[in-house]
Amino acid sequence: MARIRDEWEARTLPALAPSPKEAAKPADLPRVPHSSASWIWAADDKQAAKALFEHRFRLEGEPSAAQLLFTCDDACTIKINGGQAIEKKSLWMEPKVVRITNLKEGENHIEISATNDGPSPAGLLVSLAVRADDGTVKHFVSSSAWSAKIVGAKWKPAADLGQYGSAPWGKKIQEKGSPGDVGNKALYLALSKPKLKRSKADWKTVNDAFAAVSGPFKIYIHQLNLEEKVLSKTAQSGRATVMVMDYKPRDTHILDRGAYDQPGEKVTADGPAILPLLNGSDGKAKTRLELARWLVDPAHPLTSRVIVNRYWQMIFGTGLVKTAEDFGAQGEYPSHPELLDWLAADFVEHGWDLRRTLKQIVMSETYAQSSKATPDSLELDPYNRLLARAPRFRLGAEFVRDSALLAAGLINRDLGGPSVHPYQPDGLWAEISHYGYPAGFTSQKFLPGSGRALYRRSMYTAWKRTSPPPSMAIFDAPSRETCTVRRLNTNTPLQALVLQNDPQFLEAARALGDLMAAAGSAEKGITHGARRVLGRGPTARELKILSIALTRYQQIFESDTEKAQQLLTAAGAQDSGDPNQTAWMLVASTLLNMDEAVTRQ
């Protein structure tokens, strides 16, 4: 977003620059908002199709510049101080803007003749801006202070039909923008200033202009405005609304046959009688706090076993209890019950230190085994429940993305902070959003992140339950609409397409390719890339295949630099069409697409 905005500013500023002839003129004066002017007409006959208007005003000195905006229904002629007549014969919703040069110090006189050829009466709206030598600007607008009359009658105060926006004309005035227009002039002046020296008003002008051409930014600025209003309201009231657990116990009864209007015996909070009792506090009613303490009590037989089993499942693909979601009578019996008991007890004895437990498991001989299976072992133990060999399974969706970013040197290891929005196809959120509500509340449009935020670990990815990140869903990440303890792994062609075409993986391939190219030679570069992706050097056959591929890619893109530029642009490298960089990028993509790169083995 920041890059696109900078490009827009660089492109817009020259387009708004005034021509030498225009620059030599006095600066445009700010127009008076239409809401401060009134539509007026003749009081004697409000149906008259022709009316005369006049107004006198004094100036303390000769003005340096003056600008007149006026419109009428539907033709009028204006004279200022008896000078040359200014005519307007267009529709009332198309005002005319002219410079006035014959104003003078002392009394000035405006006289106007208005005519309406249609069935409506003659009406007038005027706004005159006058700048003094000291730079101050005064405004003279049409109102009941003006005089009006019909032909043959006497001058009387004009009839004030109402401010701009009132019936019968309303506020349907069209103003066509141009480089000389006041709005564009303000934008030009704001863009001309260095970013650090722009005022709050300058930033508002720039933001409004960019929002008019950028849908994502318009939604973003709208959401910021909503949040600013909430914060401002909180600051003014001194109260903030937050979600807290305000526990207020209420009487609970067993309902007769489940009918809400037929309460039976009164009951109180407690745990199942077959399990150890909850320890209440000072004889008071038991609360969620007692339940939480009971769950992590060292004597509790279940919580620690469930935790270590889930992490064993993450590391080995299958838990010691295969049905990690069910430790009850309907679940599967542990494959190694004594090991599960020991891991659970050790976990509790060492202060529920998860980092220590994970290190203990991955440093074991069981984890360090080879995953190669012999025919005999496959026949005796096809699912490797006896752990005679290391497991082999495809990595989870989050690990696939994070390992690619790590190999490419792009991974952002920052801890904590807000959710981030990595790449996904445009328009997905719009398909399932509730239109008709403000965009800031329904998240109708996905706004991708920028900079280092794009490379944060997958655990920080923003998640919309009705539209989960598509690349993760393809790699079997659950939708989170329901609790999922055990994922099912699949192997589909879509997964290969993600690794080859997703912008995140293309960027990883480009960055990894740059690291490989910097090694100095094809052999060193391929070896360096293989070690970063696969954790080992390439075999002789792999080195030969990838070296031949590198040479072929270089030849292809040297003769087609346009295709090289398209590929690198898709991978986040703007204004680059280097055939050598593109070739290394494709070799790196080959490594990231190897089975070993997405498989624990």
Distance CA 101, CA 25 (A): 12
pLDDT of 591? 92
Strand partners of residue 456:
412
Nearest Cα neighbor of 116 from 82, 89, 152, 98 is 89
Looking at domain 34-163, which CATH architecture does it have? Sandwich (2.60)
pTM as predicted: 0.57
**Tokens 């919309």 — which residue?**
464
Distance CA 211, CA 8 (A): 11
Is-contact 449 440, C-beta < 8 A? no
Residue 30, classed as helix, strand or coil, is coil
The percent of the chain in helix, strand and coil, each rounded to the nearest 5, is 40, 15, 45
Is-contact 350 356, C-beta < 8 A? yes
Is-contact 210 12, C-beta < 8 A? no
Six token digits for residue 413: 């290891």
pLDDT of 182? 47
Rama region for 457: left / alpha / beta (φ>0; ψ in -120 to 50; rest) = beta
Strand partners of residue 54:
111, 147
Distance CA 36, CA 162 (A): 10
pLDDT of 340? 93
DSSP for 408-448, please give it.
TT--B---S-S-B-----TTHHHHTS-TTS-HHHHT-S---
Q: Which residues of the chain have pLDDT under 50?
A: 22-27, 175-182, 436-441
Residue ranges of domains in the chain: 2-18+181-237, 34-163, 303-380, 394-601
**Tokens 């920080």 — which residue?**
460
Quick check: bond before 168 cis, omega within 30?
yes
Distance CA 307, CA 14 (A): 62
Q: Which residues contact 5 (CB under 8 A, 6 or more apart)?
A: 210, 214, 217
Nearest Cα neighbor of 72 from 92, 93, 97, 42 is 92
Residue 216, classed as helix, strand or coil, is helix
Please report, as a single letter, which amino acid is at residue 286.
K
